[in-house]
Amino acid sequence: MLRGINLGDKNKLPMKELAAIFAACGAAEVRTFQQSGNVLFAAHDPTAVSGQVLEKIAARYSYSGRIVLRSREELQGAARNNPFARAGAPESQLWVYFLAERPRPANLKLLDPLRSSPDAFAVRDRDVYLHLPGGMPQTKLSNVYFDKTLDTFSTARSWSTVGKLLTLMQ
């Protein structure tokens, strides 16, 4: 999952071109979903492919991106572990930040559970689950907040997108 592409007029990258870049870097079975940087692919070394992709994007489009990788099994685990989905919250109010790295326990203690009430979050492994009754544009639980506090980087996906990605990965 690429972070920060095709946001309004910022960091434009057509999905056909993105798929071609992944293929040129050794990825197989490349598919994209939506315009927000969701790429499904097979590779012996996904981390190496991702690094090459970022280099090509920087060279060709003059901006640096970030990629958060999840295997099918990891995405399935993320779907199973969402406490807000299990509690019956509406799908339209659910989001997840996929973190690049597992946060250190000391950083987790710095998170403020009341930062954006009535919004709520739960951190499980490398995923931050969000229940946002007012929607993503209204919350103070931004990826900047979590990235800075947890000392990593993340990319957000709606819960419906997570479900669609899982379906496509089957």
**120-162 pLDDT per residue, tens:** 999 999 999 999 999 999 999 999 999 999 999 999 999 999 9
Q: Comparing 2-67 with 72-169, is the CATH topology the same?
A: yes
Would you list the domain boundaries of the chain? 2-67, 72-169
Number of Cβ within 10 Å of residue 78's Cβ equals 21
**Domain 2-67: assigned CATH number:** 3.30.70.1280
Q: Which tens digits make up the pLDDT trace of 21-39?
A: 999 999 999 999 987 789 9
Q: Which two tokens stand for residue 89?
A: 């919250």
pTM score of the predicted model: 0.92
Phi then psi for residue 121, to 5 deg, are: -140, 160
- Check if the beta carbon of residue 65 is closer than 8 Å to that of residue 80: no
Condensed to tens digits (0 to 9), the pLDDT of residues 98-113 reads 999 999 999 999 999 9
Q: What secondary structure does DSSP assign to 106-150, as a single string?
A: HHHTT--TTTTTT-EEEEETTEEEEE-TT-GGG-S--HHHHHHHH
* pLDDT of the residue at 170: 84
- The domain 72-169 is placed in CATH, from the list 3.30.160, 1.10.30, 3.30.70, 1.10.3470, at 3.30.70
